[in-house]
Amino acid sequence: MSTFEQFNLPKSLQKAVDLLGLINPTPIQIKSFPVILSGRDVMGIAQTGTGKTFAYLLPILKQWKFQDTETPRVVIIVPTRELVVQVAEEVQKLTQFMSVRTIGVFGGVNINTQKKAVLQGIDILIHVAWTTVPKDASENPAFDIQSNLEGGVNLLSAAVSAGVKKVIFISTGGTVYGIPKYIPIDENHPLNPISAYGISKMAFERYLHFFYNDRNLDYCVLRVSNAYGTRQNLFKNQGVIGHWLQKIKNNEKLTLIGDGEQVRDYIYATDVASAIAKSIDYLGSEKIFNLGYGKGNSLNEILKVCQEITQKEIQLVRLPSRNIDVNVNVLDNQLIQRELNWKPELDLNQGIQKVWDWFQEI
């Protein structure tokens, strides 16, 4: 029968395993250990529990080396508050003899205390969290305000208390400008959003400027156009390219809103990530940047590229246009190219090909 000693764990980790009374690893722990240890990506489908969490953590902790950083190195996402508490407690027991700091975050009435604990020692905060997409925000603007705007202001207050020096906010270049007066849209274009989503993003940008003037919290706003890429969260009703390719793979009908002539600026996720990385060290005077490819494509053009790459027959379900959508949105990216020495690397065909290749692997 297998034992944890066969994993050749470090003494600090093996000591914790012994104190927990763990002797024989479970089948999933045995099977997953060498695969995760090799550095390969692993997806496991099983009922949620600490045994499965340990299966993923043990090989990671075996290779754990101390780093003088407050940046989270492992993130565990579970579906309920109770499991957050349970998993955090078990991880603390497992790492009690190691230089590991474990924090459970689940929201609720004491969310500010949790935010301060997470932010402690952090210099740069990259704010990408947002609970709504344009459709959701328009259907329930009160929830959008409460969860995103009110919650975001609380986050900024916690950041000030924790000594954070700079906040990088991922805003939206697709909705804050509203109906464009000219194309491409530069950062000086008037802000006149026609959707609740764009209004709350714009309002949070204003609060960032308030905290900068009033409490000396530096900031940078990246107004991202239509981002897409591999590992997209397909459970959210956002991101036409990912949703369409998934449906094409599954031989399902695609939903097309309007006549397909709506034009958007599509930018690949790794290009967004590289711009975020460059904004961390930016010391210039500019605070707001458009982050897009700088070229527009219609939905009909996206359909054509998807069909050419997948070589599959596409079936459409057409729906009427929505009044929260603008017809054309293309961003001018000259400022970010000049100030951050950044430029997009993947064009639309290359990006869609990458996403399609990823869908073939999952």
Percent of all residues in the chain with a pLDDT value above 90, rounded to a whole number: 54
* Confidence check: pLDDT of 152 > 70: yes
pTM: 0.72
Number of compact structural domains in the chain: 2
Q: Residue 73 sits in a domain of what CATH number?
A: 3.40.50.300
CA distance 159 to 330: 33
Q: Backbone phi, then psi, for 223, in 5-degree steps?
A: -90, 95
What pLDDT does residue 195 have?
94
Check residue 288 and give its pLDDT: 98
- Residue at a domain's end among 80, 106, 132: 106
pLDDT higher at 314 or 266: 266
Q: Which domain holds residue 113?
A: 107-361
Q: What is the CATH number of the domain that holds 218?
A: 3.40.50.720
Same domain? 48 vs 144: no
Rounded Cα gap, residues 144 and 45, in angstroms: 32
**Residues 233 and 340 reside in one and the same domain:** yes
pLDDT tens digits for range 14-61: 898 888 888 888 887 888 888 888 877 766 665 555 666 777 788 888
Distances from the Cα of 24 to the Cα of 4, 21, 55, 291, angstroms: 6, 9, 12, 51
Judge if 213 and 315 occupy the same domain. yes
How far is the C-alpha of 174 from the C-alpha of 178, rounded, in Å? 8
Domain boundary among 77, 106, 135: 106
Out of 80-89, 168-177, 250-259, the most confident range is 168-177
Burial class (CB in 10 A: 0-12, 13-18, 19+), 246: middle
Q: What is the mean pLDDT of residues 290-317?
A: 95
* Residue where a domain terminates, one of 84, 106, 128: 106
Q: What's the whole-number average pLDDT of the chain?
A: 88
Q: What is the pLDDT of residues 260-281, one digit of tens each?
A: 999 999 999 999 999 999 999 8
* CA 208 to chain CA mean position, Å: 20
Residues 60 and 173 in one domain: no
Regarding whether 178 and 68 lie in a shared domain, the answer is: no
User: In this predicted model, which residue has the larger pLDDT, 188 or 319?
Assistant: 188
What percentage of the chain reaches a pLDDT higher than 70?
A: 91
Do 113 and 96 share a structural domain?
A: no
> Mean per-residue pLDDT for 251-268?
93
d(CA 123, CA 218): 11
Of 72, 27, 85, 81, the closest CA to residue 54 belongs to 27
How far apart CA 357 and CA 362 sit, in angstroms, is 9
Specify whether 85 is located in the same domain as 186.
Answer: no
Q: Are residues 148 and 16 part of one domain?
A: no
For residue 25, whether the previous peptide bond is cis, meaning omega lies within 30 degrees of 0, is no
Q: What would the mean pLDDT of 110-114 be, rounded to a whole number?
A: 66
Give the model's pLDDT for residue 43.
Answer: 67
- Are 121 and 76 in the same domain? no
Identify whether residues 243 and 289 lie together within a single domain.
Answer: yes
* 203: confidence class by pLDDT, cuts 50, 70, 90: very high
Does one domain contain both 163 and 32?
no
pLDDT per residue over 162-194, tens digit each?
Answer: 889 999 999 999 999 999 999 999 999 999 999
Q: Label the pairing between strands 263-268 and 288-291.
A: unpaired
Same domain, 219 and 349: yes
